[in-house]
Chains A and B, each alone.
Chain A
Amino acid sequence: MSATVLNHVRKGFYLDSVALMRLSRTIANMDGIEEAALMMGTPANMRIMADAGLLEISAHKTEGGDLVIGIRARSANAAHAALAEANTMLDRPANPGRDQQAWRPRTISAARQSMPEANLALISVPGDFAAAEARKALRDSLNVMIFSDNVTLEDEIALKREARDFGLLVMGPDCGTAIINGQPLAFANKVPRGDIGIVGASGTGIQEVSCLIARGGGGISQAIGVGGRDLSEEVGGITTLMALDALDQDPNTGQIILISKPPARSVASRITERIAASSKAHTVCFIGAENVELPDNATLTVTLTEAAETALGGVRIGEGFGYLAPDGPLPPGRRQVRGLFSGGTLCAEAQAIFRSRGQPVSSNAPIPSASHLGKVNKAHTMIDLGVDEFTRGRPHPMIDPTVRDMALAEALEDPSTGVILLDVVIGYGAHSDPAGHLAGVVGTNRPADGPAVVASVTGTDDDPQIRSRQIATLETAGILVAPSNATAALLALAHIQTPAR
């Protein structure tokens, strides 16, 4: 029986990617529906829908401001019922509890007029539009946090140079996390206020360190995200330097942690110069980098966990956790570690730990000492599922855990997989129950005598998902939970280094 594909276009009807994802899931789960998607009609999205067998109309008929519904069903009746339901849901007010009569500004400038005291624009529109919106915000005297990824390097450089001239901060692009004046922005965790300031070229890096500090009894003054490319040669560390300036002058910040993948050499020297000019203590973590010349007021750490421990003045994360001793050896033939990460920096940290112990690692986002996927067959693999190619037109894996499902199921079924290594990131903006979702996927797909599954939970007990409950859910599903991403990587390593049966 051939499937029915039905399309409907709502012209000039815009919804954000999260809202669309939720609607798509609901429709896809209806009776008789094989697949369904609601996406904005950009060329890239139309290609995705066509590839998924959801597009019967010509992609040229739609524009980026149009909402396209695609439904593939086992019968025409089911398809039409699903389409009717989709339209009903689109026409229903988003939040019946909220004041529907409230006027909403359509532009940053209109919003600015209604809120003259605004000091930050948080931009999470699709990447193609983010730079233009950021520019408008800067010209309206707003600091900017660009959550969006898929912003071009040229645009990033132009925006940051313009912002620097205005004395404004551009956090991002691809800045998933910031904590300003104790308030978590976008993806971030509820951590206590304190005197430790963070400057991070990565969201999950900031999340990991801030949560470890919280668990160790410390607090965060500010956490400024600078975006993954800020410390590249081309961008030159513009935002990082401004952030270091600001925290150096901030009376509420006593010490500063800088987190990044290893920066370009010219940029690194500018950074160290700036650090040296400060009277405050700095902890520097360039994930995995071991030979970095730093001034006297700075300490180098190789992992995020060590960075947190240093800032806390020597508190040990996971005191008493037996990460050096796995329960037992792995079944024969299972020698490969498969890391599947939603956080790019957490993926990099795991790679760095494996490389520092001489283990071969390949990745789609390799650190300098690791190789690109596919090059070395027997290597352990560490996949960053949040990279631009995976997130074009789709929500980030931290919002939509299903992005990881297929790779996870495949890794569970592969007879050569010894350990699966996962990050579970909770907090504001993240999925409401990532542990529950993972437990389900693992429970369904893990064979008897299968691989060990090791995870860590980045978050705190004050987060909506409650870290201790997430840990309990994972452990009930037979997943081993380490106290941090670094210790999880070490636990996975220990499994591999224990002689096989």
Chain B
Amino acid sequence: MEKIESANQEALRRMLAGDPVLVDVIPASEAIPDLREHMILHAGPPIEWASMCGPMRGAVAGIAVFEGWAPDLDVAADMAAAGEFEFHPNHRFDSVGPMTGMTTMNQPVMVVENRTFDNRAFCTMNEGLGKVMRFGGNDAEVLDRLRWLRDSLGPSMGRALRALDGIPLKGLVGRGLAMGDEMHQRNVGCSGLILRAVAPALAETSSETGALVDALSFIGGNDQFFLNIAMAMGKAITDPVIGIEGSSVVTAMSRNGTDFGIRVSGTGDTWFVAPVEMPDGLYFPGFTEADANPDMGDSTIVETVGLGGFAMGAAPAVAGFVGVGAASEAANFTRTMSQITVGENPEWTIPAMDYMGVPTGIDIRLVVETGLAPTINTGIAHKDPGVGQVGAGVVRAPMACFEQALVAFAETMGVS
């Protein structure tokens, strides 16, 4: 249909025209004025306490204690069960969060501004690996770290970024692709580039050597530091694509540990949900599939903009890590994903694939027609709160989401 084709071309145009810049780190309450006491934003489509998985419940209890809404974890859990917290998806308030994705008033969030369209997207900072809130960790160590992010690293980063007038991200990501990153499971190149970009400004705007050392060590020691920036960048790129009449392009993909949800440009804010699938992957020593938590997190926003599993051809090292087989098979994933997308991104190219641009603009019609669901490179969390990552793998978005979306989208086009 002509109308759909031109709407999709417009969607692609907007995605490619985005100019995402990491501009600040500020308290969530400043970034999101609607945030208030007892309000908790989480990853994925809407979910209530009763349906939440172990790690998400652990994170909810932990963040309630962090915010001072409950004196301890048990009271926090009781309050949650009694309906005393208001839960909303991050996506509803211009933000995203990895894994459990807790976003609340007093946490620092990074701000990515899309200067082409003047919209902003937010994401908390990456806590590091192991026992962290994004895997459901909620003990004193976890909360202390969150306090340090709130009181030290957050403000330091904010000062540095403002002094720089922001760090442009599109070119940085392009360089990361050439370094073997795909921005979901592998961010080591971009994390290094970010450190290089921000370190002098951090030093210049720092008033206390100890804090500076901590900041540089923290960022320098976290291979996945860039993940959260990539996620906010992804959201900043896709938000201007929401609501183009007649467009069948996906604007968000997200999971809450129970359900997988997608949103489609032509159907606005509606979530199309289905139960998450289990990842197919490799487990760290001592762990097996029996330990795995179902798929979770807003990080699939990076696949939505052509990175992650879609850019696997740039990251052959990931292939082994996520257990898909030979490194030489990584490129096939990218080629396969190009069969369900509207176009390519000429600024994010993959040298090893003759500079093919990453497949961009997932078209739900192509997904349903070919039976090829988007391929996601994901971390696998332990199903018990606070244990951490136990593996990594490839998971597919459930076909049911796209089938439902197709029916709803068809209705908007007067077709049934």
Do A and B touch (CB < 8 Å)? yes
**CA distance in complex: A107, B372 (Å):** 11
Question: Chain A contacts of B147 at CB under 8 A?
Answer: none
CA distance A294 to B132 in the complex (A): 88
Closest to A132 in B: B369
Which residue of A is nearest B326, CB measured? A101
Complex formed: what's the CA distance from A12 to B335 in Å?
A: 21
Q: Does A65 contact B (CB under 8 A)?
A: yes
CB distance from B162 to the nearest CB of A (A): 45
Contact residues, B299-338 vs A (CB, 8 A): 326, 328-329, 331-332, 335-336, 338
CB-defined contacts of B366 to chain A, threshold 8 Å: 107
Contact B332 A101 (CB under 8 A): yes
Taken residue by residue from 21 to 50, chain A's Cβ proximity to chain B (1 for < 8 Å, 0 otherwise) reads as: 000000000000000000000000000000
Q: Residue of B at shortest CB range from A113?
A: B338
CA distance A65 to B370 in the complex (A): 11
- A107 contacts which of B328, B331, B339 (Cβ < 8 Å)? B339
Q: Is B339 touching A110 in the complex (CB atoms < 8 A)?
A: yes
- In the assembly, what is the distance between CA of A65 and CA of B329, in Å? 26
Contact flags (1/0) for B370-414 with A, using CB distance below 8 Å? 111000000000000000000000000001000000000000000
**Chain B neighbourhood of A106, CB < 8 A:** 336, 339, 370-372
Q: Give the CA-CA distance A107 to B369 in the complex, in Å.
A: 9
Complex Cα spacing A12 to B396, Å:
14
- B339 in contact with A101 (CB, 8 Å): no
A103 and B372 within 8 A (CB): no
Q: Give chain A interface residues in 99-113, CB to chain B under 8 Å.
A: 101, 103, 105-107, 110
- Docked CA distance A196–B339 (Å): 42
- Measured between beta carbons, the chain B residues less than 8 angstroms from A12 are 371, 399
Cβ of A65 and Cβ of B328 under 8 Å apart? Answer: no
Considering the complex, give the chain B residue whose CB is closest to the CB of A14.
B371
Closest-by-CB residue of A relative to B369 is A107
Within 8 A of B (CB), among A294-346: none
Whether B328 and A101, one on each chain, are in contact in the complex, defined by CB atoms closer than 8 angstroms, is: yes
Residues of A near B372 (CB, < 8 A) are 106
Map CB proximity to B onto A239-278 as digits: 1 under 8 Å, 0 otherwise. 0000000000000000000000000000000000000000
CA distance in complex: A221, B326 (Å): 47
Residues in B whose Cβ lies below 8 Å from that of A101: 326, 328-329, 332
Q: How far is the CA of A427 from the CA of B156 in the complex (A)?
A: 77
Cβ contact within 8 Å between A65 and B371:
yes
Chain A positions within 8 Å of B371 at CB level: 12, 65, 106
Q: Chain A residues near B369: list those with CB within 8 A.
A: 107
Q: B30-65 CB contact bits vs A (8 Å, 1 = yes)? A: 000000000000000000000000000000000000
- Indicate if the CB atoms of A103 and B328 lie closer than 8 Å: no
Closest B residue by C-beta to A110: B339
A101 to B339, CA, bound (A): 17
Chain B residue nearest to A136 (CB atoms) is: B369
CA distance A103 to B356 in the complex (A): 15
**Contact residues in B for A65 (Cβ distance below 8 Å):** 371
Per the bound structure, the CA–CA distance linking A101 and B319 in Å amounts to: 13
* Chain A residue contacts of B331, Cβ below 8 A: 103
Question: How far in angstroms is the closest Cβ of chain B from A31?
Answer: 35
Residues of B contacting A103 in the complex (Cβ-Cβ under 8 angstroms)? 331-332, 335-336
The 9 closest A-B pairs by CB, nearest first: A106-B370, A110-B339, A103-B335, A103-B332, A106-B339, A101-B329, A107-B370, A12-B371, A101-B328
Additional 17 contacts, C-beta under 8 A, given A101-B329, A105-B339, A106-B372: A12-B371, A65-B371, A101-B326, A101-B328, A103-B331, A103-B332, A103-B335, A103-B336, A106-B336, A106-B339, A106-B370, A107-B339, A107-B366, A107-B369, A107-B370, A110-B338, A110-B339
8 inter-chain pairs at a CB distance below 8 angstroms, sorted by A residue, are: A65-B371, A101-B326, A101-B328, A101-B329, A105-B339, A106-B336, A106-B370, A110-B338
B binding-site residues for A, Cβ under 8 Å: 326, 328-329, 331-332, 335-336, 338-339, 366, 369-372, 399
